[in-house]
Amino acid sequence: MDEIAVTTVTKATDCFLKLQGICKSFPGVRALNNVHMEIRKGEVHALVGENGAGKSTLMKILSGAYTKDDGEIFWQGQKVEITKPRDSEELGIAIIYQEFNLVPQLSIAENIWLGREPYINKSVHLIDWKEMYRKTSELLRELNLDIDPKRSVAGLGVASQQMVEIAKALSLNAKLLIMDEPTSALSSNEIDQLFSVIQNLKEKGVSVIFISHHLDEVYEICDRGTVLRDGNYIATIDPKETSKDELIQLMVGRTLDQQYPKVVAKRGVEALRVEGLNRDGVLYDINFSAYTGEVLGIAGLVGSGRTELVKAIFGADPIDSGKISIFGKEVMIDSPQIAIKIGMGLLPEDRKHDGLVLGLSVKQNITMSSLDKVKKHGLLHLKVEKMRVMDFIDKLRILTPSIEKQVQNLSGGNQQKVVLAKWLSSESQVLIFDEPTRGIDVGAKVEVYNLMNELVENGAAVIMVSSEMPEILGMSDRILVMHKGCLVDEFSREEATQELILASAMGVNINDKHNND
């Protein structure tokens, strides 16, 4: 690998947190090997690397969820030991995970002060509700949120729930805030709001560790960054001095000649036809076809009906009217089981909730939709099953110490690959990918794109729903655009531009089919 100039020196007077020689192993896995990281006061510091690079493990050590095997932690110049979450909290370290740690049934105020409620009389557990709501309102105002502190968390959107988590961290007087993929479920406006909050925190001297697979965000919000690869420290970078290509090279250990390695295959026969599909209040008169040998992209803004459309096609959601045909034959798909039986597969947007059984093994998850292919005389043929699973693990480069490992213990990118393996194992000919690269790193993304290329070259039809415009433009042969539950436009790969797609997705200069503009 060519030498890449990186920043590796931090003045001792600037160093707020220092991790030195951190090591951590699990049975069969060396998760961290001699990792170090330095954070300055009041900086936004990116932590980047492929899935499985060790980012989550390092942050769990810092937050007290894991205990390091070796190495040293220095906090404001003093050596400290973090062996439990309470140690981390007392230092002033707070972490906001992708999956929020909130109690939906409780109010905003109750969530923020849970276990630390102000009391009028503690001996009889008489809570000072007026004081709790006053302090909560102050915290929310600090984040520019005009929300009633008595409101239930269950009724809040993802962005507001995230702000509640930040408010909870501020109530703990956090000096270091760790954000794990904080923008993964946010709209562009919500991301702007979050970045404004982060900037305010920075100005008040709060340090932020920002974990993200979206490199554009790293360059927009972060002052410096630490790169991990395969559990090893690689470099400390300054985004102003390190190009995106150089950063990707540091992350994956190789150059990526193409971010979107599209292969144009010969378009074949009509694999899927959807005619007049309706679902009251959700989908309106949907008509389109998908062909073998092509990637059909579906674009649209959040709430446009993209996910609802593919779930309806797959039988996961009901429809009121319409026809679906597979390879020229009309079919009635009223359940995912029927869809699977006729050769369809759906890689869902929420892989943990809809795509995997987290408590089962890698092996069981891969073969659950194709048990008929690993049976002999009606019984499960364990040797055939193992060979089949090992073949997919090798082909997709799934990082797991064992095929018996519970899938919940794998990184997000490897979980995504297990879902892919499940549908490849079923030999589906119509594959629907809903946000196929959400939450996975740049290296794993290219592997998914190469797999899509291989599928269409081998005669499958791939439908790809994506919120990432470059992904839609880079990998699609045709692009359908949705707006308010309608398909409003279709573009060929050659004519599609970001401006045209965005205009259609926003309902600009289009004839809205149900007159709701």
Residue 37: CB partners within 8 Å, gap ≥ 6? 17, 18, 19, 22, 47, 58, 226, 233, 236
Confidence of residue 255 (pLDDT cuts 50, 70, 90): low
Which pLDDT value is given to residue 325?
Answer: 97
Q: Are residues 86 and 1 in the same domain?
A: yes
Tens of pLDDT along 458-470?
A: 999 999 999 888 8
Least confident of 309-313, 314-318, 394-398, 505-509: 505-509
| DSSP letters spanning 167-200 | HHHHHTT-SEEEEESTTTT--HHHHHHHHHHHHH
**Cα–Cα distance between 297 and 452 in angstroms, integer?**
12
How many separate domains does the chain show? 4
Backbone angles phi, psi at 488, to 5 degrees: -110, -15
Q: Are residues 417 and 446 in the same domain?
A: no
Q: Are residues 179 and 83 in the same domain?
A: yes
Tens of pLDDT along 197-226?
A: 899 899 989 999 999 878 889 999 999 999
Confidence of residue 258 (pLDDT cuts 50, 70, 90): low
How many CA within 13 A on the CB side of residue 419? 30
Tens of pLDDT along 174-190?
A: 999 999 888 877 777 88
Q: Are residues 304 and 414 in the same domain?
A: no
- CATH number of the domain enclosing 267: 3.40.50.300
Tens of pLDDT along 108-146?
A: 999 999 988 899 887 878 999 999 999 999 999 888 888
Of 207, 240, 255, the position where a domain reaches its end is: 255
Strand runs (DSSP E) across 246-313, as ranges? 270-279, 283-291, 295-300
| pLDDT at position 83 over 60 | yes
| pLDDT at position 509 over 80 | no
Q: Are residues 2 and 81 in the same domain?
A: yes
Of all residues in the chain, the percent with pLDDT exceeding 90 is: 48
Of 1-10, 102-111, 349-358, 443-452, highest mean pLDDT: 102-111
Q: Are residues 485 and 462 in the same domain?
A: yes
Q: Are residues 441 and 506 in the same domain?
A: yes
Burial pattern 309-340, b for ≥16 Cβ within 10 A else e, equals: bbbbbbbbeebeebebebbeeebebeebeebb
Asked, for residue 60, whether it belongs to a domain, the answer is yes
Asked, for residue 138, whether it belongs to a domain, the answer is yes
Average pLDDT over residues 80-101: 89
Which pLDDT value is given to residue 506?
Answer: 77
Strand runs (DSSP E) across 181-247, as ranges? 207-211, 224-229, 232-237
| pLDDT at position 160 over 60 | yes
Which pLDDT value is given to residue 289?
Answer: 97
Give 81 or 438, the one with higher predicted confidence: 81
Domain enclosing residue 189, as ranges: 1-92+175-255
Q: Are residues 220 and 142 in the same domain?
A: no
**Cα–Cα distance between 483 and 330 in angstroms, integer?**
27
Identify which of 433, 506, 481 has the alpha carbon closest to the alpha carbon of residue 189: 506
Q: Are residues 42 and 103 in the same domain?
A: no
Asked, for residue 327, whether it belongs to a domain, the answer is yes
Confidence of residue 259 (pLDDT cuts 50, 70, 90): confident
Asked, for residue 348, whether it belongs to a domain, the answer is no
Which pLDDT value is given to residue 280?
Answer: 94
Average pLDDT over residues 401-411: 88
| pLDDT at position 413 over 80 | no
Average pLDDT over residues 292-321: 92
- Cα 172 to chain centroid distance, Å, stands at 27
**Cα–Cα distance between 405 and 398 in angstroms, integer?**
12
Identify which of 346, 342, 330 has the alpha carbon closest to the alpha carbon of residue 277: 330
72 neighbors 188 (Cβ within 8 angstroms): no
Of 424, 450, 483, the position where a domain reaches its end is: 424
Confidence of residue 1 (pLDDT cuts 50, 70, 90): very low
Which pLDDT value is given to residue 316?
Answer: 92
Identify which of 19, 18, 14, 16 has the alpha carbon closest to the alpha carbon of residue 32: 19
Confidence of residue 81 (pLDDT cuts 50, 70, 90): very high
Least confident of 47-61, 108-122, 286-300, 364-378: 364-378
Compute the mean pLDDT over every residue in the chain, rounded to the nearest whole number: 87
Q: Are residues 248 and 269 in the same domain?
A: no
Q: Are residues 435 and 416 in the same domain?
A: no
- Cα 375 to chain centroid distance, Å, stands at 35
Q: Are residues 77 and 180 in the same domain?
A: yes
Of 32-36, 121-125, 346-350, highest mean pLDDT: 32-36
418 neighbors 398 (Cβ within 8 angstroms): yes
> Helices 382-396 and 412-425, interaxial angle, to 10°?
130
Q: Token digits for 414?
A: 């490897």
Confidence of residue 7 (pLDDT cuts 50, 70, 90): very low
